[in-house]
Chains A and B, each alone.
Chain A
Amino acid sequence: MAHTLTDIEKKSARAGLLLIIIAALTLEATSIVQYFYSQKGIKEEASMRAESQLETTKVRIMDIINQAEAAVRNSVWIAQWCLEVPDSMGRVTQRIVHDNPVVVGSTVAFVPGYNKRHELFAPYCYRESGTGEIKLKSLATTQYDYPSQEWFTKPIELDTGYWSEPYIDEGGGEMLMTTYSLPLRDSKGNVAAVITADISLDWLNELVGNISVYPNAYSVLLSRSGQIMVCPVETLVMNTSIQDLQRNSLADNETFNDISHSMLSGHYGNRRIKHQGVTSQIYFAPVERTGWSMSIVIPENEIFAGIRRIGVIVKLLQILGIVMLILLLRSVAKRQYKYKMLNEQKERIEGELQIASAIQMAMIPKIYPPYPEREDIDVFGQLTPAKEVGGDLFDFYIREEKLFFCIGDVSGKGIPASLYMMVTRALFRTISAHESSPDKIMSNLNDIMSQDNESNMFVTLFLGVLDLPTGRLHYCNAGHDAPILIGNTGAGMLPVDSNLPVGVMPEWKYSLQESVIDPDTCIFLYTDGLTEAEDLEHRQYGMTRIKELTQQLQQNGTFSPTVIINRMTDAVHLFVGNADQSDDLTMLAIQYTLHQKDFKFQRSLTLTNDIKRIPRLNAFIDDVCNANGIDMSESMQINLALEEAVSNVINYAYPTGTKGDITIEAKSNGEKMFFIISDTGTPFDPTARPAVDTTLSAEDREIGGLGIHLIRKIMDHINYERTDGHNVFTLIKKLSK
């Protein structure tokens, strides 16, 4: 068995493991797919955020740029108008600075030689840092040489508005500045001067530097030439160009080159770059008109930090799920194992029940007819348990020409009832082996059964002893259903006293009852399995139906034990139909068939209790034996047995000196000789004497006891009864044919 279990355990463990692996793989696959799609979504979201940030920032930059451009353009007409009066140009620039807070400085720088009076002329108006006072000065100095400056040359060259490269204004407050310049044409269409507006770019650092879509993201702003205008590393600002970075091999890969090229070409774009072990996404967009390019750099681990955190949570949940699955499988396996054990247990119990049933049924007489050689008795019994084992019992056997029989029903059903039933049956046999009186057998049984009866079980029991030569029935009923007598003259209940069932109360005094059973009469005994047999509507078979059937059988004159029980069984089956048998069904029928009229020979002798009368007995017996064709030597033995029996009565039944009669009745039915010795003396059972041990030596042998020993040896059956104040001692001898 252990082997099978291990096999099954292995198999289920393997199945469980497979299940867990499949579950883990499925979970992992879903989480990978989910991770992939989430990553994609998150990346898209990051680009959206970056691009919108770039756009917003650009709009804000463009706002200031537009203001500066507008300030210049709005002054173009007046500047053109003033070309003829160059000295008024200072007023124009002053007005530009004054009217536009974003403009920190402005000039109208004349093309060299245009002004007839001055070769170079460039009045510059500016807002002094700190005081905010607007001052005027001239840029037409030899040191500065404005005609070679980018802000002067480029717009003329390009013939359009031009934003200069940002620069640090060394003169006024170290500010980052840029200049918008526009060529100014005279009425003839010749370029006369360049009109400018300087704006501070200090706000740029704040505006661009504060872009923070992600905690560690940063922005870089490049000028047209690649100069770094805004960058988290302050030392690089206005000090290093993107080309320098390339040259310094700070970032030397192709992607970097591609990025810088794209940015400087004024493209929009997004690239992935790995720098110093950190992979980042770069989003960039141009700032139109200024030629700047703005970018946002976001480290990827920041973009995916959320999804990574979710990934960790998902992993933990997966592990939790797997652990729970394992626990679940374990509990299922345990339950299965338990169920299997229960099943095995059940099978084993069922097997044992089969054996128990066989043992129990072996206790019930089942060879019928039980006494084929006898003409005085016929018995038939039947026990149908409702379950494998039951609590009903019946038993019978013959000892010394007495039929001992009983029928009983233990309270409850199944195994407990069956155990009690077995004990009852065993005790019945044991006690009745040396006790012939039903009330004494019953009391004895009750005393044993009610001792330590902790389960409070009890048994209703009818116990009878039928004296076969005389048909006298002694019986005792312990709460059982009264038997039915079916005879030639009618059918009816045998009256029974109400005694407690066996096992209920120790020391209960059971009453003895007596009746004479007429020849041919059948004693029908049953348990409540018959009266309480139920049909599908839970109606009971009931006493009335039993009585009706017995009446009918009586009237038909067919009431042998087999007929009664078979007819009763058929009737009950018909009544019950398809309903399950609810209780054990037990029936026992005993028919007494000894007919006095069968006795062809009958003679009797009455003696007084005087030992001197023995010769008269001898003569009587000789005559009887003679009349029945018994040979001399057998006749001598019968004589000896009778003499022993009668002299016993003479010697012991009557107190010395009192007179009494002894009747010896001899009768024969052609097969057996019956000698019935009766007296009215004190109760005396000669059969109660222990057997003589004939193997002992002379020294050890007792003098007495030889008489009853001889009687037993000579006769085929002997039987003692105390009836109606009489000692009745019956000796039976089979006649040899």
Chain B
Amino acid sequence: MEVITNTQDNVTTAQLIGRLDTPASQEISGDFESLIKLADGTVILDCSQLEYISSSGLRLFLSLRKAAASKGGKVIVKAINNDIRSVFMMTGFLNLFEIQN
């Protein structure tokens, strides 16, 4: 699991690559802590190369979303595949995040 972060003009793009399962969530929790610090701006989570997400991954997403909400920032989830979309659907995350293709 790999996270590539790029910040430009108060807009941070984080590219998530691989499977975000339970162990992977532990691995990248540091990356998400960095993202939370930038949550006063716009954070784009680029999921075009994200294959899989478990509830621990969803928790990271939700923590970031809550931080953005309190800091007045914005989280955009971009390019999720159909499997992840159905997980988002099951958990109500489709309504919590701004989803872009």
Partner-B contacts on A (CB < 8 A) = 611-612, 614-615, 618, 632-633, 636-637, 639-640, 643-644, 647, 692, 694-699, 701, 703-704, 706-707, 709-710, 713-714
Contacts and interface: CB of A to CB of B under 8 A. Distances in A.
B36 to A, nearest CB: 13
B23 A710 contact: no
Interface of B: 19, 21-23, 26, 52-56, 58-59, 62-63, 65-66, 69-70, 82-83, 86-87, 90-92, 95-96
Nearest to B84: A636
B86 A706 contact: no
30 contacts: A614-B22, A614-B23, A615-B23, A618-B21, A632-B83, A636-B83, A639-B52, A640-B54, A640-B55, A640-B87, A643-B22, A643-B54, A647-B22, A647-B54, A692-B92, A694-B90, A694-B95, A695-B92, A698-B66, A698-B69, A698-B96, A699-B69, A701-B62, A701-B66, A701-B96, A706-B58, A707-B55, A709-B91, A710-B90, A713-B90
A644 B96 contact: no
A611 B83 contact: no
Given A611-B22, A694-B91, A698-B66, 9 more contacts: A637-B83, A644-B54, A694-B95, A695-B95, A697-B96, A701-B66, A704-B59, A706-B58, A706-B59
A634 to B, nearest CB: 9
B100 to A, nearest CB: 17
Contacts of A704: 59
Contacts of A695: 92, 95
B99 to A, nearest CB: 14
A647 B21 CA distance: 10
B63 A703 contact: yes
Contacts of A614: 21-23
Contacts of A698: 62, 65-66, 69, 96
A701 B62 CA distance: 8
Contacts of B82: 633
B91 A640 contact: no
A391 B54 CA distance: 52
Contacts of B62: 698, 701, 703, 706
A709 B90 contact: yes
Contacts of A632: 83
Contacts of B66: 698-699, 701
A721 B62 CA distance: 32
A238 B84 CA distance: 159
Contact of B21 (A643, A707, A714): A643
A647 B56 contact: yes
A233 B34 CA distance: 158
A713 B87 CA distance: 9
Nearest to B65: A698
A707 B53 CA distance: 11
B23 A633 contact: no
Nearest to B51: A636
B23 to A, nearest CB: 5
Contacts of A612: 23
Contacts of A707: 54-55
B97 to A, nearest CB: 8
Nearest to A650: B22
A713 B55 CA distance: 13
Contact of B52 (A636, A692, A696, A714): A636
Nearest to B66: A698
Nearest to B19: A618
A637 B52 CA distance: 9
B23 A611 contact: yes
Given A698-B65, A701-B62, A706 B91 contact: yes
B55 A706 contact: yes
A611 B55 contact: no
A696 B69 CA distance: 14
Contacts of A714: 90
Would you list the 3 A-B pairs with minimal beta carbon distance, nearest first?
A: A694-B92, A706-B55, A707-B55
A611 B70 CA distance: 32
Given A701-B96, A706-B55, A709-B91, A637 B86 contact: yes
A693 to B, nearest CB: 8
A457 B101 CA distance: 68
A729 to B, nearest CB: 16
A639 B63 CA distance: 24
A703 B62 CA distance: 7
B86 A633 contact: yes
Contacts of A703: 59, 62-63
A615 B21 contact: yes
Given A633-B86, A640-B54, A704-B59, A692 B91 contact: yes
Instruction: Name which of B22, B69, B92 has the most chain A CB atoms within 10 A of its CB.
Output: B22
A427 to B, nearest CB: 34
B22 A710 contact: no
B67 to A, nearest CB: 10
A640 B65 contact: no
Contacts of B26: 611
A413 B65 CA distance: 63
Contact of A633 (B22, B53, B63, B83): B83
A632 B81 CA distance: 13
A647 B65 CA distance: 24
Nearest to B54: A643
B55 A710 contact: yes
A325 to B, nearest CB: 88
A662 B28 CA distance: 26
A136 B70 CA distance: 178
Contacts of B86: 633, 637
Contacts of A699: 66, 69-70
A707 B25 CA distance: 14
Contacts of A692: 91-92
Contacts of A696: 92
Most B CB contacts (10 A, CB to CB) among A611, A697, A698, A703 go to A698
Contacts of B21: 614-615, 618, 643
Contacts of B69: 698-699
Nearest to B22: A647
Contacts of B96: 697-698, 701
Contacts of A710: 55, 87, 90-91
A694 B55 CA distance: 14
